[in-house]
Amino acid sequence: MKSHRGPLLVLFALSAAGVFAQVAPASASSDSRPDTTVAVSPGSTLEIENFGGAISITTWDKNAIRIEVDRSVGEQVTIERAGSTIALKPRTRRWVPGVVNFQITAPRWIKLDLSGVNTSIDVENCEAEVHAETVNGDVTARGGQGPYSLSSVQGEVRVQGARGRVDASSVNEGVQLEEISGPIVAESVNGGIVIKRSRSESIEASTLSGPVRFEGDLAKSGSYRFTTHNGCIDVVMPEHADATVSLSTFSGGIDSSFPVTLKKLEAKRFRTVFGSGTAKLDLESFQGTIFLRRPNEAGSDCFSDEDAKELRKEMRKELHLKVHKDVKDLKDLKEKDKDRDKDDEEKDSGDEGDEEE
Amino acid sequence: MNDGWMNRLSEYLDDELSPAERAEAETHLADCPTCAEALEELRRVRARARSLADAPAPEGIWEGIEARIEAGRTVPFPSQGAAERRGPGRVERGRGRISLSLPQLIAACLAVALVSGGAVYALLQGRTAVKGTAPGATTSASAPVTGPSTASAPENRAVEPERSAQEEPSRELVRNDERGGAGAAVLASSPPTASSPDSTPQETAIADLRKALARGRDRLDPATVRTLESNLAIIELAIDQGKRALAADPSNTYVKEHLADTMRRKVELLQRATVLASTSPEVSR
């Protein structure tokens, strides 16, 4: 959140001092209804910073922002304007951040900068830049041009039907993208990535612990890169695709439903060409299986793959051993500490005895 | 194994050896996987210790750990990290060893255990792809994984990738025997040098970020801290496996790139965690 704001735009549920514009005073009512509408001019940015609760954005053709707040939580909201930016946030009381469910209707063209901590974010049909970031909650976007930049630490990120660029990342959950026609960058650490029915010319999807699944057409001159460390890669592509496919794995496998010819480029790296080979498809799994499948073919369930199961079992065993070792070290340390305390006590009591003597 | 060098690893780590001794140590480390593994462990413990403030183990933690040891179980995902609790700690310094206070060392070891436990937890969750498969998915849990969908598809057969140096028709199931790398030599057979992926400026950046994160971690929700730590553990495990793979096949371009990419992820996650910690509102808990 920016540290300084300019003149206030709206005084709602008035603050006579003019320091804050306050919306949605505490109320016993649990309904959510229009609280206020704010006129905005093209080029404006809407910024919302929430601590807990939800942010839900829908769009309309009016040059105005309608702000609705779920009153059940009884929080107040400040509305501030700085230049072309309208900023909303729950009012902090006694250093305790507020919890608010925002229901916003905004112009399609407005830029969005949304952030939260324990907050879910939902955005629909935005035709301008959307930046949404939360720590604990899902982030969802549907339709619109974007471009979208969406991220969560402990939540899933889902986008459907976006026409522009999509950058989507989650740390501890998955990313799911459908019917995207712009460039895609998707990333996770401990989650899977699914990209379906997209017509993107550029996709980069990468995770460490989880599968990557792609199902869709490959553009003639498209560039696609799917990578994982501990998971499978499952690519469903048309029978007559024109793609040069590079497959890399250290200790995983390759399983193709297509009759392909694998050319070894170097150890653990192979290449095969489909049709004229114009699109570029790089598939890398350190220790999982890479599947190439036809559309409508029986699915490969990455996690029922016996090899993947075996690998995860080995990883678990490895981690168990490590934990046992660490715990043993801790126990040894504690024993040493006890012995030392005992020695100190004996020494102290000996000294006291000497003094008494 | 040269036990003499095993006992001097911390001097090596602290750069307290003479140039000649250092060279000798590096020669030994190149040939001794046990010492190389021990060195890596020391480096990890030191890195973690540096990122943690002096903190005593929480009351009751030992009893809990002991009980679990007695029960033959591993440490489960913790409800609260020891490092989050503060208090006076006992200081112990060893001569010629890593300069850590006992609380730091305990906290470091505990952190290793907790982080590992977190990773175990995450893995044990058996996380599958993405929750809530969207309509239209063609995958099927009951479908055979490798089975062709058409009768005309060639039969499955397994070959070693190395054997497919010539152009080879497939549908192939290509496998390697180095799977998992669990039994492979730990770390590289080479000592950590300037060219080692883990001793570059990235490592310095990682240490700096960890310090910054340690300063701000109190601002983060404990559950978020645990999530970040378990994900860091996943990344570190992937890095370890990448290093082993590289040790087994030093010229492998894919493994090199993968390792570099995984290191980048670690830096990025730490950066993100640090930003989160620095921008999160302070909430009294």
CB A179 within 8 A of CB B135: no
Per DSSP, the residues of A220-239 read TT-EEEEEESSS-EEEE--T
Chain B residues in contact with A198 (beta carbon < 8 A):
none
pLDDT at A352: 62
Residue A104 scores a pLDDT above 80: yes
H helix runs in chain B, sequence order: 3-6, 9-13, 19-31, 33-50, 61-70, 102-124, 201-216, 222-248, 253-279
Closest alpha carbon within chain B to A229: B238
Give tens-digit pLDDT for A116-168: 988 999 999 999 999 999 999 999 999 999 899 999 999 999 999 999 999 99
* Nearest alpha-carbon partner for A159 in A187, A202, A206, A124: A124
Is the minimum CB–CB distance between B175 and chain A shorter than 8 Å? yes
CA atoms within 13 A on the CB side of A327: 25
Q: Which residues 61-90 in chain B show a CB within 8 A of chain A? A: 62, 65-66, 68-69, 74-75, 90
Q: Which residues 260-279 in chain B show a CB within 8 A of chain A? A: 261-262, 265, 269, 272, 276
Residue B88's pLDDT band, with cuts at 50, 70 and 90, is very low
Q: What is the H or E stretch that residue A149 is in? A: strand A148-152
Calpha distance A283→A306 (Å, rounded): 20
Cα–Cα distances in angstroms (integers) from residue B65 to residues A210, A338, A356, B107, in the given order: 30, 16, 41, 14
Residue A200 scores a pLDDT above 90: yes
Place of tokens 């809530």: B132
Least confident of A10-24, A328-342, B265-279: A10-24
Give tens-digit pLDDT for A24-83: 333 323 344 457 899 999 999 999 998 888 999 999 999 999 999 876 656 678 899 999
Mean pLDDT highest for which of A154-168, A329-343, B59-73? A154-168
CA atoms within 13 A on the CB side of A261: 8
Chain A residues in contact with B139 (beta carbon < 8 A):
213, 234, 299-301
Least confident of A193-202, A227-236, B106-115, B219-228: B106-115
Quick one: average pLDDT of B239-268? 89
Closest alpha carbon within chain A to B140: A299
Residue B52 scores a pLDDT above 60: no
Is the minimum CB–CB distance between A79 and chain B shorter than 8 Å? no
Query: Closest Cα of chain A to B19: distance in Å?
Result: 32
Cβ burial of A280 (10 Å; 0-12, 13-18, 19+) is middle
Residue B201 scores a pLDDT above 70: no
Q: Which residue has the higher pLDDT, A266 or B55?
A: A266
Token digits for A155? 């939540």
Q: Name which of B90, B130, B148 is nearest A156 (Cβ-Cβ).
A: B130
Residue A341's pLDDT band, with cuts at 50, 70 and 90, is confident
Closest alpha carbon within chain B to A333: B106
Calpha distance A234→A250 (Å, rounded): 17
Q: Could A189 and B234 be called an inter-chain contact, meaning their C-beta atoms sit closer than 8 Å?
A: yes
pLDDT at B47: 63
Query: Closest Cα of chain B to A62: distance in Å?
Result: 32
Mutate to test the interface with B, among A151, A196, A229 (most CBs of B within 10 A): A229
pLDDT at A65: 95
Q: Which residue has the higher pLDDT, B273 or A98?
A: B273
pLDDT at A265: 83
